[in-house]
Structures are given as C-alpha cells and as structure tokens.
C-alpha cells in the first residue's frame, strides 16, 4: 500500500515538474529565436537528471528551485535564452558530479562563465576571513564581463527568500540579513524595484515577524477605505487626461510593508500616523520623442485639480537616476486634506522601473538611452576598479561595494557645465576624485557657486564646483573621514599604501622580534588575535601601527598576559569550529542551541552594548575572537553586516526561565511639557513598578519635551507593561525603545 502511494506521488511530482517547465517556456517564448527551445529543453533535462532524488528542506523535489529561478529570470526580469539555460543549471556544478567543462562543451562558454560566477568557492579559509564575502566577490568578478550573473543570482535569492519558511530559524536569520545587507540594495542599484521591494518585505517577515504581521493586517483592514479614496481621487483626473488626448492607465499602489516600517521607525510614529500609505501611478502610452512633453502636460493637469507641495517635486525625466530610473514625482493635497504621492511616467519608463537593467537593452535605440546607459556603465566601471585593486580583503571589498550601492544622489556641475552624479553626503573632495585621481590627490579646497569652501564641504543639488589644487598638497589619513564615495576611499588608500608599506616593514620586524622574545609563534591564528586585541582591520594596519609607534611594542607583553589569562579560563574554540564544540559540550535534542543562564555558564558570553538585549527578545550569539560570545538582538542594527560577512560565526541562543537578572534598556519619551510631568513619569517607573533607573535626561523646547531614560527591567513583558503605564501619563505622546 505504501509503495503504491509513493509511486503515485512520484508520478504526480513528474507531472508537476512538466507543468512548471511548460509555464517557463510560455513565459520565455516572446524572447526566443530559432533553436532556442531545443537548447532550453536540453538544459532542463540535464538539470532534472543531475538533481534526481535530491530534495529541498521543504520536502519538494530540488528541480523545482532551478525551474523557479529560470521563471523569475524570464518573466520578472525579462532575460533571454542564455540566462534561462544558466538559471536551470546554476546549481549543477556545485551540487552534482557534472563538471563545468562538460557544460561549456554542451552549452557554450557564455553559459559556463555565468554558472562559474554563481558557483561557490570550496576549500578551507583562514581564520578571520569570510567565505560569504569571498563568494560574493567571486560572483562580482564576472560583473564587468556579464551582468547576467548578478541578475540570475538575484532571481536565485528571491526564490530562496520566497521559500524560506522551511528553513531552520538561524538559517532564516542569516539568509534574511545577508539579503537586506547586500542583495536588496544591489537590486535597487540595478533598477529592479519590484524585486528589491519584495526582498525587503520578506526580510522583515522573517526578522520582525510580529511587526510585519501587524502592518500587513492594518493594510488589509484599511484596504476598502483606501480603494474608495483612490477611486474618488483618480476619477476626475482620468477623465481630464483622456480628454486631452492621452491613452493612460492610472492605478493606486500600496507602499511596501518594509517602507512603511522604515518610516514608522525613522519618524518614531505609529502606523496610523503614516499618511502616504500608497502612491498613484499614471502610465502614459506615447512615442519616445513625445515622452517628456507628455509627462509635463499630465503633471499640469494633475496640479490643476490638486495643489502640489513645491518641496516634493522630483524630476527624474530631465535627469534620470544613475540606475536608469525615469519618472516625475509630485506630492499633492487631496480634497480631504491628505497628501498623496503621484508618479507620472511612460510605458517604457514603467517597464524599466520594474525590470531594471535587463529592460534597458530592449529600448537601447530610444532617444533618451544614453543618459541611462552612462549612469549604469559608470557604476559598473567603479565596481571593476574596486575588483582590480590589489591588497583588499574580501570583507573590505564587500563593505566598500555596499557603500557604493547608494540610494539617494546629488546632481552637481563642473565649471564647464558637465553633470556629475554622486551619492548623498559626498563632499568637495569626493567631487575632486570624481574628476580625476590626481585632481583629488592635490585638492586644496573648492569654489562652490563662486564661494570658497573647504574640502569637507557637503555638496548639494545644483552646485557648480571648481576644484582648487596645489602640487604641495597630498592625501592624509584624515581624508578617509571626509569622503563618502568608494572611488575616493580607494584612491586615498592607494596614495597612502606606499608610505604605509614602508612603515609596515619596520613594524613587522618589531613584531617578529618582540613576539620571539615573548616565545610566541607568529602564525595566522596569533595575528588574528593580535588584530582583534588592538582593533586593527588587517595585518598591514597592525604592522603600520607598530612601526609608527601608535601601538607601543611594550603592549605586546600585555597582550601575552591577556592571552594567558584567557587560557586559564574556559577555553574558547576557534570560530569555525564553534558549532561542533558546542554540540559536544551540550546535551539534549537541540544540541546546536545554547541557553542563556544554563549552558552559557560553561561558555564565556556577554550582552552586546550596541542593542542591549533583554530576556524575551529574539536573540542570536556571535562568536568573537577574544571576547567569547556576544548576545545580540535579531533586530540589532549591526546584525545584517555580521550575518552577511560572518554567517558561520552565528549561533542559536535562547533564554531560560531561570534567568533572574536586571537588564539595562533605554526608552525615548516625547510629548507636551507641563509642570509635574517628570515627577509623574518617575513615579510610574520607581513607585508603581519598582524599576531602577540609571539615568534620565529631558530636553524641553517651546512646550515640547524629548527625553531618554536608561532603566533596568527583568524581561520584555516587564518592559511592555512599563511602556503601557507611561503612555497613560498626561502629556506623553510617544514612547519607543532605543539601542545605544
């Protein structure tokens, strides 16, 4: 009986595999040429045979995943045959016996190169390095040759996020945080707004589950009223625009859950106080040469009906964003007194906004294509320069790369009127390096709109900038604190590297001589401990600091004493062996989970000061080189970077009921000032709930107060009870927890 049911299941699965494959072909057909379908079929059969018998964590056949990735590549990004084949085969080399050379022979060098870029590096990594960062850098090495590697990786990541439910909790956190740290900004940079938005929402779903559910529920509850409002808002506009002779589609789109959450957190307000929960999008069907006048004519009609906010006009048609995004944004006041964002664009612009980089080539001959291509090509050139720069660790590269995925931009001009686009926060010194590396290296100051400014001046939209140089000027370490662009950082580091190398040679000799005298063997393990102890990012930085006298050689003796003191306490295993060591130490069914107050008595740990976790918070452990395990909240602002670069050092942690500890946490409190307010607040804290305060600071201005209170609580329910009581104090408008 059981065998029969298994055979039926297998038959049903095979039918489902074929159904998904046929759906893929239907999506791909508009993009295919003669012979392409046969190649896709061959790739599909190769993948089916290679992954036969393999299943995902959900229990589904593994082949569902590559088919889904190919489906996203074709349908949601608009990629063609080569990408579909590569997507179907992207896990074959990594997970099966098939060699890359065989795929190259059967499907050509382009497909093989893309698959190679998507295949993780295997082997042993040195202590202090990051396999995640190395794999990310390897993938990006192919960017300058073929951007499709990144696009397929984004499709792969999107499907993994969509099916994250089946994964264990710690894996969910690692993948979600890596996604928000690298892949969502990367999707944004390539103009894939729909994918970027979904990745952000899914990140929130798995890291702030309760908040995600609450916002989703409130959006659902307000949907009927929102749709009624949108219908009434659109009605007169649509009639007038069509009367003017335009063929348009007008729709209201709700803002993403993540963007609403970000606004709530940034503005420190509840869901009910977020006014722009949706945007109205007007999409015009017109010819390329008529796009600009059509958008402005429709804008004129919109502002005839509704008064615009003059500070909220964004013209990305005259000057497209550097990722190719084109649209006209305005915020107008509705008849009911509510601000509404209106986006005006053409069908071409809308497709580019949804499908990003891949959609550009469909419109390559359009009249406005050069501006779009230039912005994207400039960015790819920057990434190529970063990849080619010697002496940069993978983690440094990933962090620099991420800094280059800027969202907000400023548009400035050279003295000759040439437009330059830089990230928001860029300085006159960044602009100088954007002109030329030698101009940057000798930058003395700048004239902005004919007014003299220092190199640290933060440039603003519309500035016209002239750089002043001197042959005597040269880069210094302080410059790294001034610049915001990765290009400027890289060039300054290049100029400093020669001097640092000379000093570092002396520093290395000092280290070798001193460590030998202290009978310490200078190997990679010891160097990693030294870097952590002296807070140095690389061996070069460590040697330079010793050679320059920033680190006194006598401090090496103190390091030895610190190391020996550590050795006398509970031994800490190397990070990469931590999971195995914990499994041996702990007993029970969940041997990969350690409990605060129980198992952790045998493992050195401390609560991270960056997020001040308290009992009841969802937490994870991060193993450090010298300070044992640090316990962080999953919502810690540093969590995405830690999990993206050092996922193998993350361990599962839970609280035990036995913990009887007072945890330090912070509350931000705001409201209208009155006599006796502070007394009422402290009365609730100290008298009613018997909570100890460490500090309280209240600042009042024009009848409004803003305060911070540091206090000790036993757990999250204790904190929630305190917040609930404080909200009832007369004059208190808002209370929120904050991290240090």
The set of catalytic residues is 94-95
pLDDT above 80: residue 268: no
Instruction: Provide the pLDDT for residue 325.
Output: 83
Give 356's contacts (C-beta < 8 A, 6+ positions apart): 77, 187, 190, 191, 192, 193, 195, 323, 324
Instruction: Provide the pLDDT for residue 444.
Output: 92
Instruction: Provide the pLDDT for residue 395.
Output: 66
Report pLDDT digits (tens) over 494-533: 888 777 788 888 888 888 888 888 888 888 888 888 888 8
DSSP secondary structure letter of residue 23: H
| Cα 95–Cα 59–Cα 258 angle in degrees, nearest 5 | 90
H or E element at residue 139: helix 131-141
Burial class (CB in 10 A: 0-12, 13-18, 19+), 354: middle
Instruction: Provide the pLDDT for residue 403.
Output: 64
Average pLDDT of the chain to the nearest whole number? 81
Half-sphere exposure in the Cβ direction for 699 (13 Å, CA): 3
C-alpha span between 331 and 446 (Å, rounded): 35
pLDDT above 80: residue 326: yes
50 and 98 in contact (C-beta within 8 Å)? yes
- Is the CATH number 3.30.460.10 carried by domain 214-355? yes
pLDDT above 90: residue 447: yes
The CA–CA distances, whole Å, from 669 to 77, 517, 609, 678 equal 45, 56, 21, 11
pLDDT above 60: residue 569: no
CB atoms within 10 A of CB 96: 17
Which of 129, 123, 122, 134 has its CA nearest to residue 525?
A: 129
pLDDT above 80: residue 323: no
Tokens of 349: 């612009």
pLDDT above 80: residue 328: yes
pLDDT above 70: residue 376: no
Instruction: Provide the pLDDT for residue 424.
Output: 82
C-alpha span between 9 and 664 (Å, rounded): 54
Q: What percent of the chain has pLDDT over 90?
A: 25
C-alpha span between 439 and 110 (Å, rounded): 39
Instruction: Provide the pLDDT for residue 715.
Output: 82
Instruction: Provide the pLDDT for residue 362.
Output: 55
pLDDT above 50: residue 262: yes
C-alpha span between 552 and 374 (Å, rounded): 50
When computed from its CA atoms, the radius of gyration of the chain, rounded to whole angstroms, is 29
Report pLDDT digits (tens) over 37-62: 999 999 999 999 999 888 888 888 99
CB atoms within 10 A of CB 398: 24
Average pLDDT rounded to a whole number, residues 253-262 = 88
Instruction: Provide the pLDDT for residue 142.
Output: 64
Q: List where CATH 3.30.70.260 sits in the chain.
A: 663-738
Backbone angles phi, psi at 165, to 5 degrees: -55, -35
In this prediction, residue 163 has a pLDDT band, given cuts at 50, 70 and 90, of very high
Give 607's contacts (C-beta < 8 A, 6+ positions apart): 613, 630, 631, 663
In this prediction, residue 307 has a pLDDT band, given cuts at 50, 70 and 90, of very high
For CA atoms 340, 346, 347, 349, give the dihedral sign: negative
Three-class SS state of 39:
helix
pLDDT above 50: residue 557: yes
pLDDT above 70: residue 158: yes
C-alpha span between 309 and 63 (Å, rounded): 51
Half-sphere exposure in the Cβ direction for 100 (13 Å, CA): 14
Q: Where are the beta strands (DSSP E) in 575-618?
A: 593-596, 605-607
306 and 246 in contact (C-beta within 8 Å)? no
Instruction: Provide the pLDDT for residue 361.
Output: 54
331 and 340 in contact (C-beta within 8 Å)? yes
Instruction: Provide the pLDDT for residue 399.
Output: 66
In this prediction, residue 212 has a pLDDT band, given cuts at 50, 70 and 90, of very high
pLDDT above 50: residue 335: yes
Sequence length of the chain is 740
Class of domain 663-738: alpha beta
pLDDT above 50: residue 589: no
Q: List where CATH 3.30.460.10 sits in the chain.
A: 214-355
Instruction: Provide the pLDDT for residue 4.
Output: 44
C-alpha span between 235 and 244 (Å, rounded): 15
pLDDT above 90: residue 5: no
pLDDT above 50: residue 349: yes
Residue whose pair of structure tokens reads 């057909």 in the numeric block? 29
Instruction: Provide the pLDDT for residue 583.
Output: 43
pLDDT above 50: residue 223: yes
Average pLDDT rounded to a whole number, residues 230-256 = 90
pLDDT above 80: residue 489: yes
Report pLDDT digits (tens) over 690-729: 777 778 888 887 778 888 888 888 788 888 888 888 888 8
Q: Are strands 278-285 and 339-346 parallel, antiparallel or unpaired?
A: parallel
Instruction: Provide the pLDDT for residue 389.
Output: 61
Q: What percent of the chain has pLDDT over 70?
A: 82
In this prediction, residue 594 has a pLDDT band, given cuts at 50, 70 and 90, of low
Instruction: Provide the pLDDT for residue 518.
Output: 83
Give 523's contacts (C-beta < 8 A, 6+ positions apart): none
pLDDT above 50: residue 317: yes
C-alpha span between 724 and 608 (Å, rounded): 26
In this prediction, residue 364 has a pLDDT band, given cuts at 50, 70 and 90, of low
Instruction: Provide the pLDDT for residue 627.
Output: 72
pLDDT above 60: residue 416: yes
Which of 608, 609, 586 has its CA nearest to residue 598?
A: 586
340 and 332 in contact (C-beta within 8 Å)? yes
pLDDT above 90: residue 596: no
403 vs 683 pLDDT, higher one: 683
738 vs 28 pLDDT, higher one: 28
C-alpha span between 528 and 626 (Å, rounded): 10
Report pLDDT digits (tens) over 609-662: 888 888 888 888 888 876 778 889 888 888 888 888 787 788 888 777 555 677
275 vs 259 pLDDT, higher one: 259
pLDDT above 80: residue 590: no
Class of domain 14-192: mainly alpha
Q: 186-200, 376-390, 479-493, 668-682 — which is least confidently predicted?
A: 376-390
DSSP 474-502: ---TTHHHH--SHHHHHHHHHHHHHHHHH
Tokens of 275: 């006014």
Instruction: Provide the pLDDT for residue 318.
Output: 87
Instruction: Provide the pLDDT for residue 62.
Output: 92
Q: List where CATH 1.10.3210.10 sits in the chain.
A: 14-192
């Amino acid at each position: 009986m059981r065998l029969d049911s298994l055979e039926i299941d297998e038959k049903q699965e095979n039918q489902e595999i074929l159904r998904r494959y046929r759906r893929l072909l239907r999506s791909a057909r508009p993009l295919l040429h003669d012979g392409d379908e046969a190649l896709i079929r061959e790739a599909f059969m190769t993948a089916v045979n290679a992954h036969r018998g393999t299943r995902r964590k959900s229990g589904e056949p593994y082949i569902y995943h590559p088919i889904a990735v190919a489906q996203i590549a074709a349908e949601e990004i608009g990629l063609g045959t080569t990408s579909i084949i590569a997507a179907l085969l992207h896990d074959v080399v990594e997970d099966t016996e098939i060699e890359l050379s065989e795929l190259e022979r059967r499907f050509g060098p382009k497909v093989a190169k893309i698959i190679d870029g998507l295949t993780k590096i295997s082997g042993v990594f040195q202590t202090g390095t990051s396999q995640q960062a190395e794999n990310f850098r390897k993938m990006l090495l192919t960017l300058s040759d073929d951007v499709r590697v990144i696009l397929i990786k984004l499709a792969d990541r999107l499907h993994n996020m969509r099916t994250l439910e089946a994964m264990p909790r710690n894996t969910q956190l690692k993948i979600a945080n890596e996604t928000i740290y690298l892949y969502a900004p990367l999707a944004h940079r390539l103009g894939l707004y729909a994918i970027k938005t979904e990745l952000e929402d899914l990140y929130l779903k798995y890291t702030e589950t309760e908040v995600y559910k609450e916002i989703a529920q409130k959006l659902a509850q307000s949907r009927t009223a929102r749709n009624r409002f949108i219908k009434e808002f659109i009605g007169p506009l649509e009639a007038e625009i069509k009367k003017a002779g335009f063929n348009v589609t007008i729709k209201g789109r709700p803002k993403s859950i993540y963007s609403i959450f970000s606004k709530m957190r940034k503005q420190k307000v509840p869901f009910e106080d977020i006014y722009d929960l949706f945007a109205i999008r007007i999409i015009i069907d017109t010819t390329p040469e008529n796009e600009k006048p059509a958008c402005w004519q429709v804008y004129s009609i919109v502002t005839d009906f509704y008064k615009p906010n003059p500070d909220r006009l964004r013209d990305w048609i005259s000057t497209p964003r550097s990722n190719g995004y084109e649209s006209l944004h305005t915020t107008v006041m509705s008849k009911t007194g509510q601000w509404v964002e209106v986006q005006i664009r053409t069908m071409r612009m809308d497709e580019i906004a949804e499908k990003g980089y891949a959609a550009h080539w469909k419109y390559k001959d359009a009249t406005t294509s050069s501006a779009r291509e230039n912005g994207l090509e400039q960015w790819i050139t920057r990434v190529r320069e970063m990849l080619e720069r010697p002496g940069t660790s993978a983690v440094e590269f990933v962090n620099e790369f991420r800094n280059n995925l800027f969202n907000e931009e400023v548009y400035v001009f050279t003295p000759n009127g040439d437009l330059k686009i830089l990230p928001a926060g860029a300085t006159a010194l960044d602009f100088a390096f954007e002109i030329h590396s030698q101009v940057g290296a000798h930058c003395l100051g700048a004239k902005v709109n004919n007014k003299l400014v220092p190199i640290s001046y933060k440039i603003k939209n519309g500035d016209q900038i002239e750089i002043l140089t001197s042959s005597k000027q040269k880069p210094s370490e302080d410059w790294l604190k001034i610049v915001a662009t990765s290009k400027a950082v890289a060039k300054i580091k290049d100029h400093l590297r020669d001097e640092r190398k000379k000093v570092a040679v002396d520093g290395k000799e000092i280290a070798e001589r001193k460590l030998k005298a202290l009978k310490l063997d200078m190997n990679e393990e010891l160097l990693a401990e030294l870097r952590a102890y002296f807070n140095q990012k690389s061996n070069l930085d460590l040697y330079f600091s010793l050679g320059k006298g920033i680190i006194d050689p006598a401090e090496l003796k103190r390091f030895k004493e610190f190391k020996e003191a550590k050795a006398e306490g509970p031994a800490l295993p190397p990070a990469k062996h931590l999971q195995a060591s914990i499994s041996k130490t702990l007993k029970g069914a969940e041997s990969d989970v350690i409990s605060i107050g129980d198992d952790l008595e045998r493992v050195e740990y401390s609560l991270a000061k960056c997020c001040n976790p308290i009992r009841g918070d969802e937490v994870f452990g991060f193993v450090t080189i010298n300070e044992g395990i640090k316990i962080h909240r999953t919502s810690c602002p540093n969590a995405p970077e830690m999990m993206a670069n050092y996922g193998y050092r993350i361990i599962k942690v839970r609280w035990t009921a036995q913990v009887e500890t007072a945890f330090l946490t912070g509350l931000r409190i705001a409201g209208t000032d009155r006599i006796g307010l502070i007394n009422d607040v402290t009365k609730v804290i100290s008298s009613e709930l018997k909570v100890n305060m460490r500090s309280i600071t209240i600042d009042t201005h024009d009848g409004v107060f803003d305060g911070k209170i540091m206090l000790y609580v036993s757990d999250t329910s204790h904190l929630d009870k305190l917040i609930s009581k404080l909200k009832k104090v007369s004059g208190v408008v808002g209370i929120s927890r904050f991290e240090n």
